């Protein structure tokens, strides 16, 4: 057993395929543990959001102000934002009264405006102004002085247990804040799709479902193919003729067309991933049957089978003990290819709109379908909505085929030592 395993992993091809496949499989198992939740959930972002880290504006700050990170003229803008338009009007009013020409005062230029104020404002020279005006100017002057004193901001986090906002951190206004300290952020490495769902989460979930579809379809196709092939090959005669009649029938009708027809005849509400997988399996057993039959026919006439008969072994024992082990390697290889082709078949079906129902699961085919829907992703330049899916489908197919050729190197007696 140990030797067999060592031999299986010796060829680089198999190992390479295995590593790629194992990585994909591991991703589907581990990612949901770190990032649980419904993969189809629409988060509050727009369609086709770019990949990146997003901070929830509302939840992160208790103040009603835009929180801006890392702007080059942040200080000036911050100050500018605190100087309300009515204040600016008041300053202008004051300066024109002093006799400055009106057109030299630009109320939008915070810097100049404030410079003019400090140069010209004299608290002692309040002649000709009402008390109310004087008070207003004094208040304005105090406010302008206070603008340069930075305020503290609170980072709050909502605690659903107590229904209260709990302070997580205090930051001063002109500080930079660590993204990790901000309460409600979302990391979207692959952005969102047209429904505003997290693309990566959806993709990972889709890989899992698609692999499951491949597995179920592969098992169904291989079991049917193996059983029929064994029966036809070993029994021969009429059994062979009948089975081969149906096999040939299925060979002549293109499998994909059959698949489309069967899928179409099942109502969409009843088309779950499992149903689709079984339908794919039911239409792709033909080649397995044919090749298993051919191999069994050549094995049937081998002397060890004759000898087994002469030793009085029963038919099931001969089939299981003397024929199955010889074709097992071949069947394993066929099974791997079946998985790969089932995943592709599902993708094809879903793109035609005949895949599993769209409301409860994501599959690779469905993700593709959604992203190409009305070419929306392509038009809006949202590469993240379709390239990753294409790459994943190609990688799965590639890794399975690599493993298959790697196994061929092991099982092919010509290449064996």
Please say whether the dihedral angle defined by the alpha carbons of residues 267, 270, 273 and 279, taken in this order, is positive or negative: negative
Q: Which of 97, 111, 302, 378 binds other proteins (CB under 8 A)?
A: 302
Distances (CA, A) of 317 to 50, 199, 266, 312: 61, 52, 40, 10
Taking the least distance from each CB to other proteins, the nearer of 268 and 409 is 409
Query: Could you give the count of Cα atoms lying within 13 Å of 351 in the half-sphere of its Cβ?
Result: 14
Nearest to 365 by CA among 400, 390, 337, 398: 390
Q: How many angstroms separate the CA atoms of 187 and 190, rounded? A: 9
Distances (CA, A) of 326 to 207, 233, 270, 286, 292: 33, 14, 40, 20, 11
Q: Which of 189, 313, 352, 383 binds other proteins (CB under 8 A)?
A: 313
Taking the least distance from each CB to other proteins, the nearer of 174 and 306 is 306
What string of DSSP letters covers 144-204?
HHHHTSPPEEEEEEEETTTTEEEEEEEEETTS---GGGSSSEEEETT-B-TT-BBHHHHHH
Region binding other proteins by CB under 8 A among candidate stretches 76-84, 178-186, 254-262, 318-326 = 318-326
Residues with Cβ within 8 Å of residue 307, at least 6 apart in sequence: none
CB of 225 to other proteins, least distance (A): 22
Under rule CB under 8 A, residue 238 binds other proteins: no
Taking the least distance from each CB to other proteins, the nearer of 162 and 414 is 414
CB of 313 to other proteins, least distance (A): 8
CB of 288 to other proteins, least distance (A): 21
Under rule CB under 8 A, residue 307 binds other proteins: yes
Cβ-based burial of 289 (10 A; exposed 0-12, middle 13-18, buried ≥19): buried
Q: Which of 4, 311, 359, 375 binds other proteins (CB under 8 A)?
A: 311
Nearest to 13 by CA among 411, 399, 414: 399
User: What is the length of the chain?
Assistant: 417
Taking the least distance from each CB to other proteins, the nearer of 82 and 313 is 313
CB of 311 to other proteins, least distance (A): 4
CB of 229 to other proteins, least distance (A): 19
Under rule CB under 8 A, residue 185 binds other proteins: no
Under rule CB under 8 A, residue 13 binds other proteins: no
Q: Which of 321, 360, 380, 387 binds other proteins (CB under 8 A)?
A: 321
Place of tokens 């500080």: 175
Under rule CB under 8 A, residue 316 binds other proteins: no
CB of 402 to other proteins, least distance (A): 19
Nearest to 13 by CA among 249, 239, 336, 232: 336
Number of residues that bind other proteins (CB under 8 A): 19
Q: Which of 325, 359, 375, 413 binds other proteins (CB under 8 A)?
A: 325
CB of 312 to other proteins, least distance (A): 4
Q: Which of 312, 359, 374, 375 binds other proteins (CB under 8 A)?
A: 312
Taking the least distance from each CB to other proteins, the nearer of 65 and 313 is 313
Strand-pairing partners, residue 42, are 197
Beta carbons of 188 and 199 less than 8 angstroms apart: yes
Region binding other proteins by CB under 8 A among candidate stretches 68-76, 182-190, 198-206, 321-329 = 321-329
Region binding other proteins by CB under 8 A among candidate stretches 16-24, 53-61, 211-219, 296-304 = 296-304
CB of 230 to other proteins, least distance (A): 16
User: How many helices (H) and strands (E) would you count in the chain?
Assistant: 18, 4
Q: Which of 56, 157, 308, 329 binds other proteins (CB under 8 A)?
A: 308
CB of 303 to other proteins, least distance (A): 4
Strand-pairing partners, residue 61, are 155
Which stretches of the chain bind other proteins, using CB under 8 A?
A: 302-304, 306-315, 321-322, 325-326, 415, 417
């Amino acid at each position: 057993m140990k030797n067999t395993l060592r031999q299986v992993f010796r060829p680089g091809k198999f190992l390479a395929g295995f590593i790629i496949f194992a990585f994909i499989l591991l991703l589907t198992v581990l990612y949901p543990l770190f990032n649980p939740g419904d993969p189809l959930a629409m988060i509050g972002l727009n369609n086709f959001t770019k990949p990146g880290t997003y901070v929830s504006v509302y939840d992160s700050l208790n103040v009603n102000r835009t929180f801006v990170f890392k702007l080059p003229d942040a200080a000036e803008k911050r100050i500018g934002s605190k100087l309300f338009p009515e204040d600016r009007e008041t300053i202008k009013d004051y300066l024109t009264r002093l006799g400055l020409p009106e057109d030299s005062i630009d109320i939008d230029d915070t810097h100049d405006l404030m410079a003019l104020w400090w140069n010209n404002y004299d608290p002692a020279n309040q002649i000709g102004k009402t008390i109310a005006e004087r008070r207003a100017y004094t208040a304005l002057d105090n406010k302008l002085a206070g603008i340069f004193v930075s305020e503290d901001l609170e980072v709050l986090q909502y605690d659903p247990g107590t229904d209260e906002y709990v302070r997580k951190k205090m930051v001063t206004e002109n500080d930079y804040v660590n993204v990790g300290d901000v309460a409600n952020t979302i990391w979207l490495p692959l952005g969102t799709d047209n429904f505003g769902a997290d693309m990566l989460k959806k993709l990972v979930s889709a890989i899992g479902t698609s692999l499951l579809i491949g597995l179920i379809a592969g098992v169904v196709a291989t079991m049917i193919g193996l059983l029929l092939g064994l029966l036809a090959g070993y029994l021969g005669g009429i059994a062979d003729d009948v089975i081969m009649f149906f096999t040939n029938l299925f060979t002549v009708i293109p499998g994909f067309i059959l698949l489309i027809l069967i899928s179409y005849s099942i109502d969409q509400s009843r088309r779950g991933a499992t149903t689709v997988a079984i339908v794919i399996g039911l239409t792709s057993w033909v080649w397995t049957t044919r090749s298993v039959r051919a191999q069994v026919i050549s094995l049937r006439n081998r002397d060890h089978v004759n000898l087994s008969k002469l030793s009085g072994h029963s038919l099931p024992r001969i089939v299981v003990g003397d024929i199955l082990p010889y074709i097992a390697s071949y069947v394993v290889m066929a099974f791997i290819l079946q998985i790969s082709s089932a995943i592709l078949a599902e993708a094809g079906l879903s793109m035609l709109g005949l895949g599993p129902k769209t409301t409860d699961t994501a599959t690779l085919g469905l993700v593709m379908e959604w992203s190409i829907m009305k070419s929306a992703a392509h038009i809006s330049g949202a590469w993240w909505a379709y390239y990753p899916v294409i790459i994943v489908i190609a990688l799965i197919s590639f890794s399975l085929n690599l493993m298959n050729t790697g196994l061929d190197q092991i099982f092919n007696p010509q290449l064996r030592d």
